[in-house]
């Protein structure tokens, strides 16, 4: 009886070891490095490069650099919708990167739908450009640094022996504190955009926007691949209500769009 138990224990241990070995082999086989993906891109194997970049994103999480390279791969494959989608994702993570913004505009120029943005006050455009000059992480770090400098300047104001140093400390503390506040506001805005992703890209060659969430609805207008839309109603599974820059709204099937 004891021999039987011993044999069963050995068998279970062997099976467990085999399972661990198989699992390790799968992990190793699915491990992809950025260097491998970059090598495929350099060698003009854009299809393979795109697959490798997609694998990296799936296994290691989001990265502006990987999204940017993936967008370049799709652009080279003439898949403009996927190129725009991944450039948008890269820009969302790193809004201050001019290379990403340039390539995004280049890809947009090849889409069928030409978008004319509504005019806005110059100071709104300036503020938005200021917010987009850095990522959420960059603004958060700026807020921390300026807060420390505020404390330092307050100490200079309180403990300074000379009047000139007290003035410098007081004025500097006010300036640094103001920058700290705005940095935290901008960081919060960037973080909200990352968490509440309500924009999408049309990935189908073309789609007819409906007045109601079903195929029998009235045809409103047609959108083509690469067009960016805002998701107004995300409560339904099969249909999404979208809104355009000019205020037009309508419904499209979920499978024709992909969230940024």
Which pLDDT belongs to residue 4?
42
CATH 1.20.272.10 fits 23-108, yes or no: no
pTM of the model: 0.78
Question: Which are the contacts of 28, defined by CB distance < 8 A and separation ≥ 6?
Answer: none
Cα Dmax for the chain:
94
Spell out the residues 6+ positions from residue 169 whose beta carbon is closer than 8 angstroms to its own.
153, 154, 155, 156, 157, 158, 160
At the fourth CATH level, the homologous superfamily of domain 199-259 is SH3 Domains (2.30.30.40)
Domain spans of the chain, in order of start: 23-108, 122-195, 199-259
CA distance 104 to 122: 23
Q: What is the dihedral of CA 219, 222, 225, 231, to 10 degrees?
A: -60
- Give the whole-angstrom CA distance, residue 78 versus residue 56: 22
- Say if residues 205 and 195 touch (Cβ distance below 8 Å): no
Tens-level pLDDT at each residue, the chain (260 residues) = 444 433 333 344 433 434 333 433 333 345 778 899 999 999 999 999 999 999 999 999 899 999 999 999 999 999 999 999 999 999 999 998 999 999 999 999 999 887 766 666 777 778 888 888 888 888 999 999 999 999 999 999 888 888 999 999 999 999 999 999 999 999 988 888 888 888 999 999 999 999 999 999 899 999 999 999 999 988 889 999 999 988 899 999 999 999 99
CB 228 within 8 A of CB 258: no
Residue with tokens 């339904």: 236
d(CA 23, CA 181): 49
pLDDT at 18: 41
| Helix, strand, or coil (residue 232) | strand
Looking at residue 117, its pLDDT comes to 67
pLDDT at position 72: 96
Q: Give whole-number Cα distances, 85 to 55, 70, 117, 227, 260, in Å.
A: 17, 10, 19, 9, 6
- Asked if 251 and 239 count as a contact pair (C-beta separation under 8 A), the reply is yes
Rg of the chain on CA atoms, in Å: 26
């Amino acid at each position: 009886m004891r021999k039987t138990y011993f044999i069963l224990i050995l068998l279970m241990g062997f099976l467990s070891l085999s399972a661990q070995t198989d699992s390790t082999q799968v992990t190793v086989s699915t491990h992809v490095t950025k260097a491998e993906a970059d090598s495929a891109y350099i060698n003009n194997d854009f299809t393979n490069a795109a697959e490798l970049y997609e694998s990296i994103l799936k296994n290691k999480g989001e990265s502006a650099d990987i999204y940017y390279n993936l967008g370049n791969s799709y652009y080279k494959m003439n898949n403009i919708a996927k190129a725009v989608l991944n450039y948008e994702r890269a820009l969302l993570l790193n809004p201050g990167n001019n290379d990403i913004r340039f390539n995004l505009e280049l890809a947009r120029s090849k889409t069928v739908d030409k978008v004319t943005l509504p005019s806005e006050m110059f100071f709104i455009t300036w503020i938005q450009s200021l917010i987009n000059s850095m990522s959420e992480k960059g603004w958060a770090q700026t807020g921390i640094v300026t807060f420390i400098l505020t404390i330092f300047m307050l100490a200079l104001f309180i403990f300074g022996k000379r009047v000139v140093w007290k003035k410098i400390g007081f004025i500097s503390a006010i300036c640094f504190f103001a920058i700290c506040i705005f940095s935290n506001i901008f960081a919060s805005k960037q973080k909200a955009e990352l968490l509440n992703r309500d924009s999408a890209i049309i990935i189908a060659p073309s789609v007819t926007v409906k007045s109601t969430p079903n195929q029998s609805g009235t045809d409103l207008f047609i959108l083509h691949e690469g067009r960016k839309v805002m998701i107004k109603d995300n409560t339904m599974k099969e249909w999404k209500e979208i809104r355009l820059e000019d205020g037009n709204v309508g419904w499209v099937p979920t499978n024709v769009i992909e969230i940024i």
